[in-house]
Structure 1
Amino acid sequence: MKSTNAIGQLAALQQSRRIFLGRASKGLGALALASLLQPTLLRASGQAASKGSSGDRWTGVVNPLHFPARAKRVIWLTMAGGPSHLETFDPKPQLGKLHGEPMPESFTKGKQVAQLQGQKLVCFGPQ
């Protein structure tokens, strides 16, 4: 019989992508909450911060950086069942041409599409 430690290690190796991303988002959320509740909690001590080039910021592993840092905030979205970035942000010139017209059957042929009863599907192009 395997020990509980070995079983835990085996389970950790078999986690799926969804579980990994869910746990990572919870960890990032916990860090954000901790920094909101006590802003000085995650900062370096005064002596370590004075070594850095930008005050109380951590210099990171790559020093000096290849490019100056521009990001001020991080937005982490975890949407179960939401549309992918390919469906939302990629340009779709064909939909722009068909904006407001009924959706061609060639777009939905062989696919299950949820729609309101008795209403035709309408194409919506970029706004």
Structure 2
Amino acid sequence: MSLQRTQLCRRSFLGTSACGLGMTALTSLLGDDAHAESATDVRRWNGLVSPRHVAPKAKRVIFLYMAGGPSHLETFDYRPQLAKLHGQPMPESFTKGQPIAQLQGKKLTCMA
């Protein structure tokens, strides 16, 4: 006898749970506003934000949606001085007073 189980990964579980909680929160926020009103009792809903007391001056907006961070190719910082320092001992001003166990009693060299 073969039991067919639907595999539910953590990501889909959390996404489904978040949608359910979001809908529950939305219904509690709307509350009585979700009920139908009669034609004589019409109210205008102005939204969540009150109108501004000063008129906005911006004419255009550029919206950039950039998911994640910049590429490692765009953050490469070429430093020609590092090639000259390759293999030389690490300056003591860099390692002095550092409480790192790997630095104690070892001869450190610069790497490019």
Higher CA-based Rg: 2
* Structure with the largest fraction of helix: 1
Higher relative contact order at CA 8 Å, sep ≥6: structure 1 or structure 2? Answer: 2
TM-score, scaled to structure 1: 0.27
